A and B are shown apart, each in its own frame.
Chain A
Amino acid sequence: MVVSAFDIILCLTLVWLAWHILTSPDHFKAVVLFISFGLLMALAWVRLQAPDVALAEAAIGSGLTGALFLSALRRMASVRRGERRLDRAEERYDDG
Chain B
Amino acid sequence: MTTLYLCLAIVLLLSVVLGLLRIMWGPTAADRMMAAQLFGTCGVAILLLLARGLEQLIIEDVALVFALLSALATVAFVRRAWRRDDVRRTGGPDHD
Enumerate chain A interface residues (CB-CB to B < 8 A): 2-3, 5-6, 9-10, 13, 17, 20, 26-29, 32-33, 35-36, 39-40, 42-43, 46-47, 51, 54-55, 58-59, 62-64, 66-68, 70-71, 73-74, 76-77, 80-81, 84-85
Contacts and interface: CB of A to CB of B under 8 A. Distances in A.
A20 B10 CA distance: 22
A28 B73 contact: no
Contacts of A40: 16
A46 B87 contact: no
Nearest to A47: B50
Given A17-B20, A71-B76, 7 more contacts: A3-B53, A13-B20, A28-B87, A51-B61, A62-B69, A63-B73, A70-B76
Interface of B: 3, 6-7, 9-10, 13-14, 16-17, 19-20, 23-24, 26, 29, 32-33, 35-36, 39-40, 43, 46-47, 50, 53-54, 56, 58-59, 61-62, 65-66, 68-70, 72-73, 75-77, 80-81, 84, 86-88, 91-94, 96
B27 to A, nearest CB: 11
Interface centre among A36, A59, A73, A77 (most CB of B within 10 A): A36
B93 A81 contact: yes
Nearest to B13: A9
Interface centre among A10, A59, A70 (most CB of B within 10 A): A70
A73 B92 CA distance: 9
Contact of B13 (A10, A20, A42, A68): A10
A35 B73 contact: yes
A10 to B, nearest CB: 7
A64 B7 CA distance: 31
Given A39-B66, A62-B70, A77-B93, A32 B17 contact: no
Contacts of B3: 2
